[in-house]
Amino acid sequence: MDLFDLTGKVAVVTGGTRGIGMMMARGLLQAGARVHISSRKPDACAEAAEELSQYGEVSAIPADLSTEEECLRLAREIGEREQALHILVNNAGATWGAPLEEYPAFAWDKVLDLNLKAPFFLTRAFLPMLEAAATHDDPARVINVGSIDGLHVPLLPTYAYSASKAALHHMTRVLARELGPRRITVNAVAPGPFESKMMAATLEAFGEQIAAAAPMRRIGRPDDMAGVAIYLSSRAGAYVTGAVIPVDGGLGTTV
């Protein structure tokens, strides 16, 4: 089973204090990685680090990644603690819903700054550390967290969110081609409905209907997200790059 072993590897998971980011961080820890999580709120960082510490070595660094300056600061702080970075999970994100006639300009800025620009700035800022970790047989990994809303048209009026995730999927492919020769893979995960703060209101209102519409007849569980993170980060996924992997019970690809 050492094909999926991450012992000795270092990972950064943004938005790692809750939801999908926390699921991924937990999986990486259980596979043996040392994990640094980040989110905007210091209290949330401290609470999540305490909870995740039962699975392995974890630290938390608060950062508001909606600005390039904070992306650069996070990379500097990680660089003071680590010599190399094997896994970067760009998960921090935001959404906004409003009717077409009322959709505000500031919502576009808020959502695209965090969902699209931050993954680009972070990947660029961490490049020296990713290259330091990369080998020909075991490349460094960048995992961007997209969404099935970037693969199909969502039912809710979340225009900036779905557009940002579709753009993130394509940026993943662009960066995969550029960074492959530098021994770095770049992939995206497109989650469907999982229990998280972002999805809470939607699942409360439509959870049963969403589960019934999925071929797997359920919503996502923490192990589903942990599993894909381990796969893409381990030797098992060393030859996969430029992929957008739906983890959605079939909702985004069959419905």
pLDDT at 148 over 90: yes
Q: Which one has a higher pLDDT value, 155 or 106?
A: 106
Whole-model pTM above 0.85?
Answer: yes
94 Rama class: left (phi>0) / alpha (psi -120 to 50) / beta: beta
pLDDT mean over 131-159: 95
- Across the chain, which distance is largest between two alpha carbons, in Å? 54
Cα–Cα distance for residue pair 1/86, rounded to 1 Å: 19
203 pLDDT tier (thresholds 50, 70, 90): low
pLDDT mean over 61-83: 97
Q: In the Cβ-directed half-sphere of 254, how many Cα atoms lie within 13 Å?
A: 11
Cα–Cα distance for residue pair 204/218, rounded to 1 Å: 14
pLDDT at 162 (0 to 100): 97
Give all domains of the chain, ordered by start, each with its CATH number.
Answer: 2-246 (3.40.50.720)
User: Could you tell me the strand order of the sheet in which 58-60 lies?
Assistant: 58-60, 34-38, 10-14, 87-90, 140-145, 184-191, 244-247
Centre a 10 Å sphere on the Cβ of residue 88 and count the other Cβ atoms it contains: 30
The residues annotated with a catalytic role in the active site are: 161
Cα–Cα distance for residue pair 32/74, rounded to 1 Å: 23
pLDDT at 163 (0 to 100): 98
pLDDT at 214 (0 to 100): 80
pLDDT at 91 (0 to 100): 97
Q: Hey, CA dihedral for 121, 122, 125, 130, is it positive or negative? A: negative
Kindly report which listed range (108-117, 127-136, 145-154, 209-218) carries the lowest average pLDDT score. Answer: 209-218
Q: How confident is the model over 85-125, as pLDDT tens digits?
A: 999 999 999 999 999 999 999 999 999 999 999 999 999 99
What is the pLDDT of the chain when averaged over all its residues? Answer: 93
Residues in Cβ contact with 118 at an 8 Å cutoff, skipping those fewer than 6 apart: 14, 65, 66, 71, 90, 92
pLDDT at 195 (0 to 100): 76
pLDDT at 8 over 90: yes
Cα–Cα distance for residue pair 185/177, rounded to 1 Å: 9
pLDDT at 40 over 80: yes
197 pLDDT tier (thresholds 50, 70, 90): low
pLDDT at 199 (0 to 100): 65
* CA distances in angstroms from 29 to 11, 32, 33, 54, listed in the order given: 9, 5, 5, 9
Centre a 10 Å sphere on the Cβ of residue 226 and count the other Cβ atoms it contains: 21
Residues in Cβ contact with 166 at an 8 Å cutoff, skipping those fewer than 6 apart: 146, 150, 151
